[in-house]
């Protein structure tokens, strides 16, 4: 489980900024405005960022953005690099895949920008575009 003060920096790629249109596979319509924050596996292991495959692991986080745009929203640590893996590979809005995409738009995020994720408690995070 993450501890207060833990942090990591992720570099935004096109897929992170345009998830709902780039991952289009025909099973649902294109979803403009979706986005996510990548969690490298090495970071997930170091910090202890689990997905729902981990028994008893916390995977929902209260999130605020340093700029104040996001306030007390819920992000979910989800996905895995291989089936059944317990480590999360991304943060996404819990029940709202456009949540991070709207923040990306607000901060005018672009490919190559960096985002820092910092824990202020085991279940609270702050995100900021650097």
The predicted-structure confidence for 22-35, as pLDDT tens digits, reads as follows 555 556 555 666 89
Mean pLDDT value of segment 104-108: 96
How far, in Å, CA of 38 to CA of 20, rounded?
15
Please report the domains of the chain, with CATH numbers, ordered by start residue. Answer: 7-129 (2.40.330.10)
**Are 38 and 90 spatial neighbours (Cβ–Cβ below 8 Å)?**
yes
Amino acid 64: pLDDT: 98
Q: Which residues of 2-31 are buried (b: 16+ CB within 10 A; e: fewer)?
A: beeebebebebeeebbbbbeeeeeeeeeee
How far, in Å, CA of 2 to CA of 77, rounded?
12
The yes-or-no verdict on residue 16 having pLDDT over 90 is no
The predicted-structure confidence for 35-72, as pLDDT tens digits, reads as follows 999 999 999 999 999 999 898 767 999 999 999 999 99
């Amino acid at each position: 489980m993450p501890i207060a003060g833990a942090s990591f920096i992720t570099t935004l790629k096109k897929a992170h900024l345009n998830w709902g249109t780039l991952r289009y596979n025909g099973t649902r319509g294109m979803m403009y405005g979706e986005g996510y924050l990548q969690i490298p596996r090495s970071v997930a292991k170091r910090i202890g960022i689990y997905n729902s495959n981990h028994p008893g692991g916390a995977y929902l986080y209260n999130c605020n953005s340093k700029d104040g745009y996001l306030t007390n929203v819920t992000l979910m640590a989800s996905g895995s690099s291989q089936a059944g893996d317990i480590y999360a590979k991304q943060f996404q809005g819990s029940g709202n895949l456009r949540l991070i995409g709207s923040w990306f738009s607000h901060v005018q995020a672009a490919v190559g920008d960096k985002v820092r994720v910092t824990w202020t408690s085991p279940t609270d995070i702050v995100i900021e575009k650097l």
